[in-house]
Chains A and B, each alone.
Chain A
Amino acid sequence: LAKTTQPISMDSYEGQEVNITCSHNNIATNDYITWYQQFPSQGPRFIIQGYKTKVTNEVASLFIPADRKSSTLSLPRVSLSDTAVYYCLVGMYSGGGADGLTFGKGTHLIIQP
């Protein structure tokens, strides 16, 4: 059973705000939610991490509702360089080994001019 579910792909345009939602119905009490970005031929890059409510950094915002069964990564005013695969992870390594750390296929975000 997949630990997280996110859309396979999304399209948007430069200057728009993009929201990518991830479902994680079985999130555990101690689990954090982490988002990574991956460009072709590169390793994943940490974007943001949160536990509840809202977290914001210079790159993105992360919205987590009270029940924590989903989360939304928000990218403000995207540019062409934001075209990448975005992964949502729950728990990172919490002793779950392979189950806890499989990234899944992520969301392919394509930004058009």
Chain B
Amino acid sequence: NAGVMQNPRHLVRRRGQEARLRCSPMKGHSHVYWYRQLPEEGLKFMVYLQKENIIDESGMPKERFSAEFPKEGPSILRIQQVVRGDSAAYFCASSPRAPGTGGQETQYFGPGTRLLVL
């Protein structure tokens, strides 16, 4: 069973361009979480999605950032008009069940996408 896959692993963008990050959850997992990690910092929650629904985007910046998890295909984190402060590692995690449905759910993390904005 393949783990969580993210691509690209590294992404370089110039200021003002768009960055599109992809996450394929583990097989059978329909719950996806996105996190951002700045150098020397811990991971910060951005958004929680289920198939075709955004459940919680309270950690997502209000502008330029959006996320989706379509019925078919990977989850996408999109950053429009990137700025240097967007440079970070972006991690995706997946879980098989919704939180609170019979216990705490372990999240399985992907290897991350390292975004560098020049």
Contacts and interface: CB of A to CB of B under 8 A. Distances in A.
A34 B45 contact: no
Given A42-B111, A98-B44, A101-B45, 15 more contacts: A31-B104, A42-B112, A44-B91, A49-B106, A87-B42, A93-B48, A93-B105, A95-B99, A95-B100, A97-B59, A98-B45, A100-B45, A101-B33, A102-B59, A104-B42
A105 B112 CA distance: 17
B45 A92 contact: no
Interface residues of A, number: 27
B24 to A, nearest CB: 14
A13 interface: no
Contacts, number: 76
11 contacts: A42-B112, A43-B4, A43-B109, A43-B112, A46-B106, A49-B104, A92-B104, A97-B45, A98-B46, A101-B45, A106-B42
B41 A105 contact: yes
Interface string A18-59: 000000000000111010100001111110010000000000
Interface string B70-109: 0000000000000000000001010000011001111111
B1 interface: no
Interface of A: 30-32, 34, 36, 41-46, 49, 87, 91-95, 97-98, 100-106
A102 B104 contact: no
Interface residues of B, number: 29
A31 B99 CA distance: 11
B25 interface: no
Contact of A34 (B35, B104, B108): B104
A32 B103 contact: yes
Contact of A102 (B40, B42, B48, B106): B42
A93 B43 contact: no
B108 A93 contact: no
B58 A97 contact: yes
